[in-house]
Amino acid sequence: MKEQDMFRQLNKYVLATDLDGTIVHDDIPHAPLWQELAKEQASLIYITGRTFSSAQLLIQQADLPTPDVLICDVGGAIYDGHTHMLDETWARHVLEADFSEVAQIAEQYFTPQPVTTPFRLAYYGDEQAVEAFKQQLSPHASVDVIHSSNRDVDIMRRGVDKAAALEYVLATQLEPSRVIVAGDSENDYSLFISGHEGIAVANACDTLYALAHQPHIYIAQQQGAAGVLEGWRALTQKEGMTFK
């Protein structure tokens, strides 16, 4: 289930990063981060909860560099960052999920987000609503629920998340890269338990802070893009480079 020829070969170093709260946060400048990545000729992957159109708008408004790969909808959709071509194989896999029955239950507990996407169901809800919803789900419902910031509720095809989408992209590569992930919220958690080195920015959620004891996780002292730069420098200067 791989589009072998769709994605160009990634370079030796890869930064796979969330956007909101991680790169774009409180007007913290991100230009120094891109300058550092350019020194290493690092490839860039954005992994966001936003839809494609929303992510493109943010990239333009925040003056972010064009990524090599753009993963949207919490891992539900994968695009070539330069051509904007959707990976149809991954999309078909995601769209095999039948959300109709799940949506009827979800509407009893959550408020719909103003988002139009076929790759996930998107709502607002608190922890209590999420737990009540899970109790009503059939054991055979092939979906996962991702709850972030005690607000955002994303209902995905089971097994689809940010890490799964990233691993799908990496599996298309002929040569391995050293991949460093970065994030701040619960929907980034799958990236941090995928085995890659990870940077949790200082404004990250408690779920990511709880991974501080893991040797491959760096907890930054700075927020936003400054924290990503701090973590990138700390991790890339470590001895014993690992490639996946």
CA distance 40 to 73: 29
Q: Per CATH, which fold does 99-157 belong to?
A: Hypothetical Protein Ta0175; Chain: A, domain 2 (3.90.1070)
Contact 48, 78 (CB under 8 A): no
Domain boundaries, the chain: 13-93+160-236, 99-157
List per-residue pLDDT tens for the chain, 244 residues long: 445 568 889 999 999 999 999 999 999 999 999 999 999 999 999 999 999 999 999 999 999 999 999 999 999 999 999 999 999 999 999 999 889 889 999 999 999 999 999 999 999 999 999 999 999 998 888 999 999 999 999 999 999 999 999 999 999 999 989 999 999 999 999 999 999 999 999 999 999 999 999 999 999 999 999 999 999 999 998 754 454 4
Q: What angle in degrees, to the nearest 10, is found between the helix axes of 31-40 and 224-236?
A: 20
CA distance 53 to 111: 22
CATH architecture of 13-93+160-236: 3-Layer(aba) Sandwich (3.40)
- 179 to 42, 166, 188, 194: CA distances (angstroms): 10, 10, 15, 11
3-state secondary structure of 182: strand
